[in-house]
């Protein structure tokens, strides 16, 4: 998983989605976008996790999925597990802490579907 600095610009073709967007309804247009940005308005609002799972699992989206908004360092393991490939941490968060958090869970008792296994391992 990559961590993006605030000044890092996403590609021009990035599909920016609010966490209320119906990603399943966007299946036809996803191929036109190499990156999808999913937004966390609050760290306690997990709808973007579900959107990422749908993108990777049901829609087999293979592009980049980036988490933005109120993203905390300790969210990193679940972000990766749900299929996010990158995250832009909240300004008060420390990247080294997020990187360390990725090492907390070497194994999970739930299985990861094959379509998400590659994204979760990255």
The DSSP secondary structure of 38-102, one letter per residue, reads EEESSTT--HHHHHHHHHHHTS---SEEEEEES--GGGHHHHHHHT--EE---TT--HHHHHHHT
Q: Residue 109: its pLDDT value, please?
A: 56
Query: Which backbone phi and psi does 91 adopt, to 5 degrees?
Result: -55, -30
Mean pLDDT of the region 37-55:
96
Q: Kindly tell me if the per-residue pLDDT of 12 is higher than 70.
A: yes
Q: Kindly tell me if the per-residue pLDDT of 122 is higher than 60.
A: no
Are the C-beta atoms of 38 and 17 separated by less than 8 Å? Answer: yes
Q: Residue 102: its pLDDT value, please?
A: 86
pLDDT band at 7 (very low <50, low <70, confident <90, very high): confident
pLDDT band at 39 (very low <50, low <70, confident <90, very high): very high
Q: Where do the domains of the chain lie, and which CATH numbers do they carry?
A: 2-121 (3.40.50)
- The neighbour count for residue 57, using CB atoms within 10 Å, is 16
Q: Residue 116: its pLDDT value, please?
A: 54
Q: Kindly tell me if the per-residue pLDDT of 65 is higher than 90.
A: yes
How far apart CA 87 and CA 22 sit, in angstroms, is 21
């Amino acid at each position: 998983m990559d961590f993006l600095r605030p000044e890092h610009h996403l590609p021009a073709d990035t599909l920016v989605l609010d966490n209320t967007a119906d990603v399943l309804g966007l299946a036809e247009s996803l191929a036109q976008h190499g990156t999808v940005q999913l937004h966390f308005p609050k760290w306690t609002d997990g709808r973007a996790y579900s959107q990422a799972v749908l993108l990777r699992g049901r829609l087999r989206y293979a592009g980049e999925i980036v988490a933005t908004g109120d993203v905390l360092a300790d969210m990193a393991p679940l972000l990766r597990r749900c299929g996010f490939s990158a995250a832009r941490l909240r300004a008060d968060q420390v990247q080294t802490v997020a990187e360390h958090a990725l090492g907390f869970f070497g194994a999970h008792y739930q299985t990861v579907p094959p379509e998400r296994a590659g994204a979760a391992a990255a």
